[in-house]
Amino acid sequence: MVAAATDVLPFRSAKDYLNITVDKHDDELMEFLVAAVAGVEEFHDVVLIDRDVVETVDARNSQGLLTNLPIRELTSVSADDGSGRSWPVSRLQVTDAGVLYAGTGAPLHGRVRVAYRAGMTPVPPSYPSAVKLVLARSWQTQRPGAPGARGGNISGSGGNNTGPTAMRRVVEDVLGATIPGIA
């Protein structure tokens, strides 16, 4: 995940944005950068970093819902009951919302194990900006000994203006989307 996080926001750009001129904080900054990318993915419900995913879904009425969006490619679909039953991916379709369904052939049913590739390639330009803001907020407020440090983590509670609601609002402001669950 470390190398992939720098595909979203190059490490040098993160250091420049935070005005860090010394190397003694590099390891800590990389941890915060990885957490910031993961936080943006979680808060915006999207997979930024292109990766392989294996997910088990309950298929009903020949449909199942995949949760790691956007889906780039199905690689395999099989029953999760040990029967060895599988569905050819060429006969399956996935909507932009992640609904997997059988276009032709045998219907999907029961617990289904789905392997696929998810992620954005290339990453849209607004996402590195969101990562920068989440990174800056967490770097300033959650590092031990940092001025205004409150503890916590990017997706957990972190005190005044650093918890999940504040971080989600940062992402929402930059990406211009309303995120469910924010009042």
Digit-coded pLDDT (tens) for 147-162? 554 544 444 444 444 4
Does the reported pTM lie above 0.75? Answer: no
Inform me whether the pLDDT recorded for 177 exceeds 70. no
Is residue 3 very low, low, confident or very high in pLDDT (cuts 50, 70, 90)?
low
Cα 169 from Cα 87, distance rounded (Å): 41
Query: How many residues are present in the chain?
Result: 183
User: What pLDDT was estimated at residue 103?
Assistant: 82
Phi and psi at residue 121, to the nearest 5°: -140, 115
Instruction: Residue 135: name the closest of 34, 67, 55 by CA.
Output: 34
DSSP state of 147: T
Residues 6+ apart with CB under 8 A from 61: none
Digit-coded pLDDT (tens) for 39-54? 888 877 788 888 899 9
Mean of the pLDDT values across residues 83-112?
Answer: 91
